[in-house]
Chain A
């Protein structure tokens, strides 16, 4: 176990505030200035810790994306559930008839 506090993690910014804002846009998260600051500090520390992976030479190593059994089982494409619009719409934040109501997306 390495002690992350012994590194200079807390002093080194691995990710800039601009990058934090860019990633927040990608992730659809509204952040205030305090959030941006603390995320910059936290992510920098974590990314510095993650840098220890660079001690390993992985040039010829294949990546592992999943560890389950090989193959995808198939089943017949048969509808098994009855239509239940009220159940499906029960959790809708806003509903109109049998539709989810959303803000206008297309102008005009």
Chain B
């Protein structure tokens, strides 16, 4: 059998369990694909061939013994923000270029225990700060559908690796859209669960009141399978919810009859590319055809979300990144005294966007500006959260575009930070409100670039958005397209 790397997780799981394929050959196929296409894409910072083969062999033994959790033997890519024991974890930063964690993140340990195979550490924007994966100290990731376009970010490597069949699924993180936007740009499925649904222990922190872990996959069902293994309480993360984890795959009934789909008028405004709007409107029509009901809703504070986010997120980042001081791990640049050592280490270790956000965050928290900026941002966050609470009184899920455009050109926005920030305009409010959101491919523009539909749920409404995303996939309106590579 050829091209095993093109299988979905659902397909591979069945073939592995029937012993028609082995984890070893499936892993080999992914590693071969990485060798073939990654020199063009740069989706990986570190490829873990030796470790992946060992994990695959161990998975084959378990499969042979009939002990086969869903992800046993499934090759996954891991965003390089997750601590992986014994495997270099850089966060795409020079400051962690040679950092080898002595422990696994909780989600990594869980996946390992379930027999998953890690083919490599995926490229990203440095410290997850960016919307294009151009802010990586290891060079940008390119979009598999068009190599002169960005993959999106910050989890661009994780999205591109799935789109290019270098793995069957992957992990990303989403603080302001960093799973959903690259999923949309690369034509794959990406879900950001409810804040607190998944443990973040061992996930390098960017903005702790917003960061959330989630999977990328080729189908909604595959994403549901991975999410089941990620979600759940963790004694090592006190922010993690103790709620029972539903069987997300079982929620995919295909039946959305009577579902009330909220359509916020503030998301269909000028600035959105006509082809993006058309594709999303067409998806809404299919929902109506399946028995769902469209409800016009209003999220009046939408246009303030980006401004509130860049106060809250950068303030938290400035505190979280204070730990990189060149003392216990990471880069050290010597100085005459300890202060000079810190200043020089951080100047040499952080890239331009990370410095910009640390500076902005330090400023909004500084004496004399705290109330005008930080407190104001937190208050506006309350208004944004209320918008969603009110909207969910009249609908079950909310449907919007993921991004106003398809993947933009490499270099197009790097010199204009604010324009880059605005590419997250439709995803950022979901993080501020702590809600689950999924990006599901809903079409292609005339240049062949993927378009994503965003479905937003109420807190812990993962099942509803997964069910709705899966129901749309089942219509067959959008065929998964192989990347052109």
**Chain A residues near B (Cβ < 8 Å):** 1-4, 9, 15, 19-20, 22-24, 26-31, 35, 39, 42-43, 45-47, 49-50, 52-56, 58, 61-69, 72-73, 75, 84, 87-88, 90-94, 100, 102-105
Most buried by B among A4, A22, A69: A69
Closest B residue to A101 using CB positions:
B327
- Per the bound structure, the CA–CA distance linking A52 and B311 in Å amounts to 12
Check A68–B379 contact: CB distance below 8 A: no
Chain A residues near B363 (CB, 8 Å)?
15, 19, 23, 43, 47
| Contact A56:B304 (CB < 8 A) given known A42-B417, A61-B383, A68-B195 | yes
State A42–B415 Cα separation when bound (angstroms). Answer: 10
Per DSSP, are chain A's interface residues mostly helix, strand or loop, or mixed? Answer: loop
Cα-based distance from A104 to B330 in the complex (angstroms): 19
Which chain B residues border A94 with CB–CB below 8 Å? 332
Whether A64 contacts B303 in the complex (CB less than 8 A), given A20-B359, A103-B337, comes out as: no
CB of B343 closer than 8 Å to a CB of A:
yes
Q: Which among A2, A24, A91 is the interface contact of B329 at CB below 8 angstroms?
A: A91
Q: Which of B7-15, B124-132, B236-244, B276-284 contacts A (4 or more CB under 8 A)?
A: B236-244
Contact of B304 with A84 in the complex, beta carbons under 8 Å? no
Q: Which residues of chain B have a CB within 8 Å of any CB of chain A? A: 98-100, 102, 195-196, 209, 235, 238-239, 241-243, 269-271, 301, 303-304, 306-308, 310-311, 318, 322, 325-332, 334-344, 346-347, 350, 355-356, 358-360, 362-363, 366, 373, 375-383, 385, 404, 417-419, 421-422, 425, 432-434
Picked from B241, B271, B326, B360, the residue with its CB within 8 Å of the CB of A68 is B241
B362 touches A64 (CB 8 A): no
Bound-state Cα–Cα, A27 to B344, Å: 12
Instruction: Give A62's nearest chain B residue, CB to CB.
Output: B382
Evaluate contact between B418 and A46: CB separation under 8 angstroms.
yes
Check if B355 sits within 8 Å of A29, measured CB to CB. Answer: yes
List B contacts of A105 (CB < 8 A).
337-338
Docked pose: A92 CA to B355 CA in angstroms: 23
Residues of A contacting B380 in the complex (Cβ-Cβ under 8 angstroms): 53, 56, 58, 61
Contact B417 A87 (CB under 8 A): no
Q: A30-B343, A56-B304, A69-B196 given as contacts; is B404 within 8 A of A63 (CB)?
A: no
CB pair B307–A52 under 8 Å, yes or no, is yes
> Are the CB atoms of B330 and A28 closer together than 8 Å?
no
Contact of A50 among B242, B269, B310, B338 (CB under 8 A): B310
B366-A23 in contact (CB<8A)? yes
